[in-house]
Each structure stands twice: as structure tokens, then as C-alpha cells.
Amino acid sequence: MRVLNLLPDQGGGIESYYEQIKKYFTFDVTYFIVGKRPQEKGKLPQLQRMFTDYRRFVRLLNERPYGVVVANPSLDAKGIVRESIFLLIAKRKGIRTIVFFHGWLDTLGALIHKYFLPLFRLIYGKTDAVIVLSERIRRILISWGLKQPIHVELTIISDDILNGFSFEDVFSKREKSQRWRLLFLSRILRQKGIYETIDAWAAIKDNYPIDLLIAGDGKDLEGVKRYARNISLDRISFYGYVTGEAKNNLFKRAHLYCLPSYTEGMPVSVVEAMAYGLPVVTRWVGRIPEFFENGKHGFATNSKNPKVFRGLIETLYQNKNLYREISWNNHAFAKSHFLASEAAVRIEHLYASVTKSFNQEP
């Protein structure tokens, strides 16, 4: 089966998502670039390119038989209008369509609901399936009257981060380690909960052999370093921005991951920590409540009180059986839910189901 995926040329999360799963597709999946190009300047070139994209699209559909066309907009005005034309063209040619909303702008959603809901249903309600990245968005679309199957997908991480990673060996070293390492890896911003992390660690550092590892860069980094200097720098390590093998090594060396963020979408660092088998201490923000279970993946709370985080960290340190169980749960859960290869299987299954339902229609 041939699938045509429409991707915006923005070098952002949508392209990254499909680049990671591309090598795992078994179907013939073609990527078709749409939207504004980085080198474009001025309204006239953009308008000319837009019509060129539509002509190229029609020509491609005429040249090759595609079973499914997949649009990948965020819910922003330009993306919604642009993708609607592609979807209408595909439908007119009798091709099955799927829309995958990779982002959601609530202000535009409110406008659509108030003024343009019949038009939205006329176009996006006629696609054969919808994919979203949040149960909340799925419920919104259902409330808007969309009747087709709406699937919730997850943030993905590259399979490559676990290349050469033996969880059994790493976990064995963690169990034998005389000192534990609490990892905070994120942008260094107050709203990421960095001060709460330091305060929680400071409250237990004299009672337990736990060191604090802080990785990341951000506008609050120097202030955080000054704050840490007043507590104890001999057991706090700053690594700055890390990527690649340096980042992977931190996850391997750590025993716990802490992210008391005030707000999040879907924090990739939490998913990565789980893949390395780290119990996670975090807050009920963003999409975390949609997959995270207290006592199974670690602990989440609504509180911002460092004393609460201190207690959760302490529980994991003291209860070695619980720590072991959560570690193994997280590694297995991440491998089965978040890896790009697993996402490719789920996405292909959806492609196939859409085509199958089409072929079974009278």
C-alpha cells in the first residue's frame, strides 16, 4: 500500500517525528513537503509556492495510486486552511484521508467552536480517521461532533538511545552503588521546578547518600548556581546542556529522575528517563496523567512543596523492592509505548485499517 504524508517544511517536531519512524515503515510511505519554506520572503513567493504545491500534489496523485493521504497540521490558522485544500482534493479523487493534529492552539479552537464549527466538520469531520497527541483533544473533537475513529498517539523517542544499553547490567550497578544520584535534566528555568528539586534534595542530603546531578541550560542557570552554592556544592554537579552520549551516560548513572515542572506538554525527558529504567518524581501536568501511574512509574503530585518531593524521593530510597519494581516497569513500558519502531507499527496498523474499511464498503 502506498501512503502520502504531507509534512510542513519547518524543521520542527512534526518532521522530527516522521524522520524517527521513517526507517521502520514497511509500507511505501512518501513524504510530500508543504507550507512555507525557510528561504521564502514576501507574500508573492509564498502565494506562488502554495499554488505550486497544490499542482504538484494533483500531479502526484495522478501519477501514482495512493491508498491514504495523511495531513499533519497543528491547529493554527495557516495549517488548518492549507491542509483542508489537500484533503478536499484527495477526497475528490476517492482517496482515504487521515489527519494527525500535532499541536493545538486553544485560542483558535475557541474561534472554530464559536464561528466555524460547521465548516470544520464539513472538511475535517469527513476524514476517515484522526490522530491526536492528547486525550483532552480527543474529547474536544468528539464534543465538536466528529464521528470517525480518533486515536491518541504518544510522544516518541529514538530507538537509538537504547543501542548498546543493557538494562540488566545498568540496574545491577545501581543496586550495588553506595551512593545514589538524583537527576534533574531540563531547561534551567524556575517553572521547571529546579528550586523545588534543590530544596527537596537539601532536606535529605544529610540523612541519605544521595547526590544531585543538574543538566541543562537556561536563563536561570546562574541564579540556580548561586542558590546551590549557599546549600552545598560538594554534592551537586552541574553539566550544562548535554546531548548524545553525554546525555545517555547521565541517565545510565542516575538512580532517580525528578521534574517538578509547573507546566508541560509531553516532557520527552520523562519518557527518556523511563526508557533507562529510572523511577520518576514529577507533577500532574500536561499529558503525564494520561499514561503515568503512581506507584507503578514513580510518583506524581499536584503539590509544589519541596517537602512533598522529599517524602517521595525518600520512599523510593527506603523501599528497595518498590524501587526495583518501578525501574523494571518503566523500562518495559517505555520500550512498548514510546519507541519510534513501536509507533511505526501502530501508525501502519491505522493506515491499513482505514484502507481495509474502504475496501469492505459496498
Q: pLDDT tens digit string along 225-268?
A: 999 988 877 799 999 999 889 999 999 999 999 999 998 877 88
Give the domain range for residue 228.
159-337
Q: Are residues 173 and 314 in the same domain?
A: yes
Q: What percent of the chain has pLDDT over 90?
A: 77
Residue 265 DSSP symbol: S
d(CA 304, CA 15): 35
pLDDT digits (tens, 9 = 90+) for 33-79: 998 877 778 888 888 999 999 999 999 999 999 999 999 987 778 88
What is the arithmetic mean of pLDDT over 140-152? 97
Question: Which residue's entry shows cell 507503578?
Answer: 296
Q: Are residues 95 and 234 in the same domain?
A: no
Q: Taking 90 as the threshold, does the pLDDT of residue 16 lie above it?
A: no
Q: What total of structural domains would you count in the chain?
A: 2
Predicted TM-score of the model (pTM): 0.80
Q: Are residues 219 and 289 in the same domain?
A: yes
* pLDDT band, residue 361 (cuts 50/70/90): very low
Residue 203, all three cell numbers: 532536606
205 within 8 A of 213, measured Cβ to Cβ: no
Q: Are residues 237 and 350 in the same domain?
A: no
Q: Are residues 33 and 139 in the same domain?
A: yes
Q: Are residues 285 and 222 in the same domain?
A: yes
Phi, psi of 75 (to 5 degrees): -85, 75
Cα distances (Å, whole numbers) of residue 58 to 29, 33, 141, 280, 339:
17, 14, 29, 48, 34
Identify each DSSP E strand in the chain by its residue range: 2-8, 28-34, 68-71, 74-75, 96-100, 103-104, 129-132, 150-152, 180-185, 210-215, 236-240, 256-259, 280-283, 298-301
150 within 8 A of 143, measured Cβ to Cβ: no
Q: Are residues 116 and 182 in the same domain?
A: no
Q: Are residues 211 and 123 in the same domain?
A: no
Q: Taking 50 as the threshold, does the pLDDT of residue 362 lie above it?
A: no
Closest CA to 256 of 305, 191, 209, 303: 209
Q: Are residues 150 and 74 in the same domain?
A: yes
Q: Are residues 46 and 93 in the same domain?
A: yes
Q: Taking 50 as the threshold, does the pLDDT of residue 82 lie above it?
A: yes
pLDDT digits (tens, 9 = 90+) for 260-272: 999 887 788 999 9
Q: Are residues 168 and 127 in the same domain?
A: no
pLDDT digits (tens, 9 = 90+) for 309-334: 999 999 999 999 999 999 999 999 99
Q: Taking 90 as the threshold, does the pLDDT of residue 128 lie above it?
A: yes
291 within 8 A of 315, measured Cβ to Cβ: no
Q: Which CATH number covers residue 169?
A: 3.40.50.2000
Q: What angle do CA 130, 134, 136 make, to 5 degrees?
A: 100
Q: What is the pLDDT of residue 264?
A: 82
Inter-residue long-range contacts of 262-270, CB under 8 Å, 24+ positions, other chains counted: 262/191, 262/192, 262/193, 262/304, 263/191, 264/288, 266/133, 266/154, 266/155, 267/186, 268/155, 268/157, 269/185, 269/186
What average pLDDT is seen over the chain? 92
* pLDDT band, residue 10 (cuts 50/70/90): low
* Helix, strand or coil, per DSSP, at residue 111: helix
Q: Are residues 208 and 98 in the same domain?
A: no
Closest CA to 352 of 102, 21, 29: 29
